[in-house]
């Protein structure tokens, strides 16, 4: 067994125009001062990373790693959540998702999708140049508007959506394979890969691609009432990344899973800072240790109530207290009798 690495923090929710959140060096120093040992870097934040340069320059990547190290942290993974989303977009979301892409491709879904794919290929090279082995992203979605079957879905609609999703992602997965990096899909509402079944549907269509792996985030499973502990038992061999994020689900007679179109603070299901929600992290960290999870425990802060800086400060302490330093021996080794094969056979009445 291996001890989980951490704590680390995903920087996306903290990026801003004011110090210390406006440069890679200063935000790394801020994170280190809170007790974090690693940072997960959103590739769309240009003040943190130049993805084009990272894809083409090992020297630049070495400089970036040096900045992190000098500040007291290391880069754990890169993220392309926003760009991965654009690999597959249903037309209903074209206007909303244009904001994730450069203005030059707005209003042009084909060009936007081509830009997204090209960006993913750069992320594969950048991850390799940084010496990383995992990468975080979203799958995008073609079938999501048809999640609830009313009117009845036409036969083959979902199957065609997943066939197309696999066609779009297979070349990207191959590029990451060449780079020696796992693509870790965050299983998330709004994505076609939003639970275990949909992940399996996709995995089958990409021929069980060795790089099509998982980012585990229990908060999204609380909100859709999925057994997030059983999920680890089922998919632990594919779980390569871990977002430590809390959530709560408090249904009423007025609303449940769908949330009644309410703001986050007024929804039955909402994200919370670590320790303020309902996620059983003690059991999660135990299962991660049991299954020899080799990655990082990364805080993703999202909370409907608490200030982000308070959530970050408390999160470092919370993760540290939950990481299990795994044992190197069995607790009953002191009672080992030192028998051998001959003695074992004698005990079994075989000698």
Q: Residue 343 has what pLDDT?
A: 87
* DSSP code for 108: -
Q: Which helix (H) or strand (E) holds 309?
A: helix 308-322
On the CB side of 248, CA atoms within 13 Å amount to: 18
Among 336, 333, 330, residue whose Cα is nearest residue 1: 330
**46 is written with which tokens?**
């240009």
Question: What whole-number distance in Å separates Cα of residue 181 and Cα of residue 101?
Answer: 24
Q: Residue 53 has what pLDDT?
A: 98
Q: How many residues does the chain have?
A: 351
For 259, counting Cβ atoms within 10 Å of its Cβ (0-12 exposed, 13-18 middle, 19+ buried), the class is: middle
The dihedral through the CA atoms of 301, 303, 307, 311 has a sign that is negative
Distances 162 to 169, 193, 336 between C-alpha atoms, Å: 10, 9, 54
Q: Which CATH architecture has domain 5-347?
A: Alpha-Beta Barrel (3.20)
Q: Residue 339 has what pLDDT?
A: 80
Say how many C-beta atoms besides its own lie within 10 A of residue 324's C-beta.
14
pLDDT in tens, 211-263: 999 999 999 999 999 999 999 999 999 999 999 999 999 999 999 999 999 99
Q: Residue 76 has what pLDDT?
A: 98
Distances 251 to 124, 141, 266, 267 between C-alpha atoms, Å: 41, 27, 11, 9
The dihedral through the CA atoms of 189, 191, 192, 193 has a sign that is negative
Domain boundaries, the chain: 5-347
Q: Residue 211 has what pLDDT?
A: 98
Q: Residue 334 has what pLDDT?
A: 75
Q: Residue 237 has what pLDDT?
A: 98
Query: Hey, is 150 helix, strand or coil?
Result: coil
Q: Residue 336 has what pLDDT?
A: 79
CA angle 53, 58, 60 (to 5 degrees): 50
Q: Which helix (H) or strand (E) holds 296?
A: strand 296-299
- Check whether the bond before 245 is cis (ω within 30° of 0): no
Say how many C-beta atoms besides its own lie within 10 A of residue 38's C-beta.
23
How far is CA 329 from its chain centroid? 31
Q: Residue 327 has what pLDDT?
A: 86
- What pLDDT tens digit does each residue of the chain (351 aa) get? 899 999 999 999 999 999 999 999 999 999 999 999 999 999 999 999 999 999 999 999 999 999 999 999 999 999 999 999 999 999 999 999 999 999 999 999 999 999 999 999 999 999 999 999 999 999 999 999 999 999 999 999 999 999 999 999 999 999 999 999 999 999 999 999 999 999 999 999 999 999 999 999 999 999 999 999 999 999 999 999 999 999 999 999 999 999 999 999 999 999 999 999 999 999 999 999 999 999 999 999 999 999 999 999 999 999 999 999 998 888 877 777 778 888 889 889 997
Residue 148 φ/ψ region, left for φ over 0, alpha for ψ in the -120 to 50 degree band, beta for the rest:
beta
The dihedral through the CA atoms of 250, 251, 256, 260 has a sign that is negative
Could you tell me if 200 and 173 are in contact, meaning their C-beta atoms sit under 8 angstroms apart?
A: no
Question: What whole-number distance in Å separates Cα of residue 226 and Cα of residue 291?
Answer: 20
Nearest 5°: phi and psi at 305?
A: -125, -45
């Amino acid at each position: 067994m291996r001890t989980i690495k951490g704590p680390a923090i995903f920087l996306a929710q903290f990026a801003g125009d004011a110090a210390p959140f406006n440069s890679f060096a200063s935000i790394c120093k801020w994170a280190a001062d809170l007790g974090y040992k690693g940072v997960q870097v959103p590739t769309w934040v240009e003040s943190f990373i130049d993805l084009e340069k990272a894809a083409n320059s090992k020297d630049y990547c070495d400089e970036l790693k040096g900045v992190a190290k000098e500040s007291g942290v290391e880069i754990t993974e890169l993220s392309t959540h926003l760009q991965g989303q654009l690999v597959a977009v249903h037309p209903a979301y074209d206007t909303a998702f244009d904001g994730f892409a450069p203005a030059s491709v707005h209003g042009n879904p084909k060009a936007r999708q081509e830009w997204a794919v090209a960006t993913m290929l750069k992320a594969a090279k950048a991850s390799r140049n940084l010496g990383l082995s995992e990468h975080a992203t979203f799958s995008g979605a073609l079938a999501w508007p048809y999640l609830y079957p009313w009117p009845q879905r036409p036969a083959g609609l979902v199957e065609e959506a997943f066939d197309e999703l696999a066609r779009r992602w297979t070349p990207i997965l191959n590029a990451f394979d060449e780079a020696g990096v796992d693509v870790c899909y965050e299983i998330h509402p709004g994505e076609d890969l939003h639970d275990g079944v949909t992940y399996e549907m996709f995995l089958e269509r990409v021929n069980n691609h060795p790089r099509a792996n998982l980012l585990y985030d229990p908060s999204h499973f609380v909100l859709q009432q999925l057994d997030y502990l059983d999920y680890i038992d089922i998919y632990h061999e594919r779980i390569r990344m871990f977002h430590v994020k809390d959530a709560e689900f408090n249904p009423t007679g007025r609303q449940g899973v769908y949330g009644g179109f309410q703001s986050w603070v007024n929804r039955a299901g909402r994200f919370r800072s670590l320790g303020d929600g309902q996620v059983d992290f003690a059991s999660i960290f135990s299962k991660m240790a049991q299954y020899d999870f080799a990655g990082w425990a990364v805080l993703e802060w999202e909370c409907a109530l608490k200030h982000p800086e308070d959530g970050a400060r408390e999160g470092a302490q919370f993760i540290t207290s939950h990481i299990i330093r795994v044992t190197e021996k069995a607790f009953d080794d002191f009672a080992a009798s030192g028998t051998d094969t001959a003695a074992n056979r004698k005990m079994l009445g075989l000698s």
